[in-house]
Amino acid sequence: MPEVGLVTALLFSATLFSVGLYGAISRKAAVSILMSLEIMLFAITLNLVALARFVPGAQPHAWFFIIFIMVLGAAEIAIGLSLVVALYRRARTSKVEDLRELKG
Partner 1 sequence: MLSAVAFSVLGFVILVAAINCISAENVIHGAYWLLLCAIGVAGMTWFMGAEYLAVTQLLLYAGAVSILTIFTVMVTHRSYESACTESKLSVSAVILSLAFLGLVAYGIIMTPELAAFTTAQEPMELADFGAELFAIDGHAFAFEIASLVLLAALIAAVWWSKDSDLDGERIAKDKAARIEDPLSEHSATLNAPLRDEKKEQQSAEGQEDSHA
Between residue 61 and residue 90, which ones bind partner 1 under the rule CB under 8 A?
A: 63-64, 66-68, 70-79, 81-86, 88-90
> Max CA-CA distance within the chain?
61
Shortest distance in whole angstroms from residue 84 CB to partner 1 = 6
Should residue 96 be labelled a site residue for partner 1 when binding is judged by CB under 8 A? no
How many CA atoms are closer than 13 Å to the CA of 66, on its beta-carbon side?
Answer: 17
CB atoms within 10 A of CB 13: 21
Q: Pick from 47, 32, 37: which is nearest to 96 by CA?
A: 32
Should residue 94 be labelled a site residue for partner 1 when binding is judged by CB under 8 A? yes
Q: In the set 1, 100, 101, 102, which binds partner 1 (CB under 8 A)?
A: 1
Should residue 98 be labelled a site residue for partner 1 when binding is judged by CB under 8 A? no
Should residue 3 be labelled a site residue for partner 1 when binding is judged by CB under 8 A? yes
